[in-house]
Amino acid sequence: MSDNILKIRDLSVNYQTDRGKLKALRNIDLDISRGSIVGVVGESGCGKSTLITSIIRQLDANADIPNGSIEFEKQDLLKLSLDKMRNISGTQLSIVFQDPMSTLNPVLSIGRQMIDIQYRDKTSKKIKKQRSIDMLNKVGIPDPQSQLKQYPHELSGGMQQRVSIAMALQAGPSLLIADEPTTALDATLEVQILKLLKELQVEMGCSILFVSHHLGVIAELCDHVIVMYAGEIVEQGSTYEIFNNPAHPYTVKLLECDPASISKKQRLLPSIPGEIPDLTNLSGGCIFKNRCDQSIDRCDKQTPKWNEFSNNHYVSCHLIES
Amino acid sequence: MTLMFFMIHLVPGDPARIMLGPRATPEMIADISMRMGLDQPLVIQLMKFLGNILKGDLGVDVLSSRPVTEIVFGQLPYTLWLIFSAIFGAMLIGIPLGCYSALHRNTFADRVTGVISVACITAPSFVVALYSLLIFAVTLKWFPAIGAGEKGDFFDQATHLVLPAFAIGISWVGYLSRLVRASMLEVLGENHIRTARAYGLTEFTIVYRYALKIAILPTVTVIGVGMGFLISAAVLTEVVFARPGLGKLIIESITTRNYPVVMGSVFISTGLFVISTTISDLVNASLDPRIRDNL
């Protein structure tokens, strides 16, 4: 068994809503091996954000985790006390959020915030400040010395995201979670930020869990891809396998819908007909059966098991049984 | 200012007649009227008054012939002390209470503070003044009942301040705690707080340094604008506790139709309001760089 930095087993998350119990995540298994970049892809509402917030233990008050474990560096995050969790957060386990314009505190200067997150370190303020400057240098911010005095609203979105990345990597985490870090940025910036993430990942030797609904970004950055649909993982494998040999009907359709893959002129962009099933009222069987054009009788009755489609490429579908 | 001028003159009763009492002769009334300038048309009176204000002259007290500025500024410190200790005490209790409620939202403790806060808000200051006078000064004898204390004796003055400040401040405790709770809850739901948590900052740092600095902004504005309410509460409270001060001065000069003193003290109170709103704007600007940039 390879060295896994994050090991999620049988994780389920429910939200208590007015319409009843919403099963946002169901029996998720996920591994991230040390030093790799794993991408999680899926449409909005498939449980990507719930997955991340349950890893960093910031689920809303109406959520509960009936079963499962999230093992990070050999300890179950779900069983840690809040104090122990706080010690891991920002040091070993870090995160870059989606919307850079709102992730930094608007009334404190960049420098203040960068020095504050080093509060565990008992060294002098001067060293902490120098460390922050070095970090800003690393993420490619010009003239970091004077940027420290700036407030977030004085920086552009791209710069703010660079600052967020600098803050997230400051303590040298072993796992960085990136929650759609480029979605709010324009295309040229997106490329820059991705390049930066990849460079820093190699330089600092951390693993990255990269969440996105953007297939191109995932293909560009990740070694391993996990495809999620309506709170379940339906397919996982190496990036090459997933993009060249998609096996699950959902993955196939998802790739067809990627505007970048369309070469012929079309009047309508392709889409997957149907809607995501109601997660408060699941009927059992395969989760994708209602939108799948190849569904068979078994899909209604039986939940598909994991099948190895090719080397290290797993699919949860009845059609792919060996 | 002009509006206020006309409002005062609309109040029935000839000031000269009231001041001199029922046995005044018509000659005496005419004499006083001339000295106060009441025999001249209202517009001329107004022009004279406004012109004098520009020169820093608020006129002369009809009864004692002392300049109004001297009288008003003599009384002003008492009122300022009262207002400041009331609002300072209210902030000291109300803001942490609001933070506590926000952090323990929908728990039993939050509900209890909610009920107490609303009860505090609805209690009129003069009722609180009368009851606290009755309980703490008359029955328990913890604090002196009336006056402002010996001049120069700080401790004596402070003990005289407690009950009136309590009477004015109590509704502000409730008000501020509700306000801080609401804005705190809003700020705690914002993305940057999630970030701060994800970086492992302690809950104390997050609440009191990262969130409160934003959540306090509406409170600062409300206190600045609330100066008007504070002064009107001070008027009633000063009367109940027989304290010297601007409020008592206004009441007394209205009952004697002492126009220059009424005008002078109302003018100064208005000035206080303008100053306090300006200060609150400046405080907000110092807290929030986004406001600072728009100045």
SS3 at position B160:
helix
Is the CB of A117 less than 8 angstroms away from the CB of B198? no
Using a 10 angstrom Cβ sphere, with 0-12 exposed, 13-18 middle and 19 or more buried, the burial of residue B261 is buried
Domain presence at residue A298: yes
CB contact under 8 A, A99 and B192: no
* Residue B148: predicted pLDDT: 67
The structure tokens listed for A181 are 């870090």
Contact list in A for residue B290 (CB cut-off 8 A) is 106-107, 151, 153
Q: Kindly tell me the burial class for residue B126, based on how many C-beta atoms sit within 10 Å of its own C-beta (0-12, 13-18, 19 or more).
A: middle
pLDDT at B166 > cutoff 90: no
- Residue-wise pLDDT for A196-250, tens only, equals 889 999 988 899 999 988 888 898 899 999 999 989 999 999 999 999 999 999 9
pLDDT category at A1 given cuts 50, 70, 90 is: very low
- Looking up tokens 């340094």 gives B209
- B192:A104 CB<8 A: yes
Report how far Cα B208 is from the mean position of its chain's Cα atoms: 28
Instruction: Flag if A108 and B287 touch (Cβ within 8 Å).
Output: no
Which of B192, B202, B210 should be substituted to probe chain A, the one whose Cβ sees the most A Cβ atoms within 10 Å? B192
- A313 sits in the region (left: phi over 0; alpha: psi -120 to 50; else beta) called beta
Residue A140 domain-assigned (yes or no): no
Structural domain contains residue A229: yes
Q: Is residue A165 part of a domain?
A: no
A275 lies in some domain? yes
The verdict on a CB contact (< 8 Å) between B197 and A89 is yes
Q: Say if A137 falls within a structural domain.
A: no
Chain B closest CA to A150's CA: distance in Å? 10
Domains along chain B with CATH numbers: 77-294 (1.10.3720.10)
Among chain B residues, CA nearest to A120? B201
Domain boundaries, position A239? 4-92+208-320
Longest dimension (CA), chain B: 84
Q: In this complex, do B202 and A56 lie within 8 Å of one another by their Cβ atoms?
A: no
HEC letters along B30-46 = HHHHHHHCCCCCHHHHH
How far does Cα A138 stand from its chain's mean position?
23
Question: The domain that contains A68 carries what CATH number?
Answer: 3.40.50.300
Considering only A106-110, B10-14, B110-114, B272-276, which range has the smallest mean pLDDT?
Answer: B10-14
- Model confidence pLDDT, tens digit, residues B194-245: 999 999 899 899 998 999 999 999 999 999 888 888 888 888 888 888 888 8
CA distances from A188 to A201, A213, A214 (A): 20, 18, 15
pLDDT confidence of residue A322: 54
Residues 82-121 on A with a CB inside 8 Å of B are 86-91, 94-95, 97, 99, 102-109, 116-117, 119-120
Instruction: Tally A–B CB contacts below 8 A.
Output: 76
Task: Determine, yes or no, domain membership for A45.
Answer: yes
Q: Which residues in chain A are closer than 8 Å to B214, comparing Cβ atoms? A: 105-107
Contacting residues for A300 by C-beta, under 8 A, at least 6 apart: A283, A285, A286, A289
* CA-based R_g, chain B, Å: 24
Determine the pLDDT at residue A228: 92
User: Is residue A157 within 8 angstroms of chain B, CB to CB?
Assistant: no
The answer as to whether A101 is a domain residue is no
* Interatomic CA distance for residues B38 and B272, integer angstroms: 29
Q: How many domains does chain A have?
A: 1
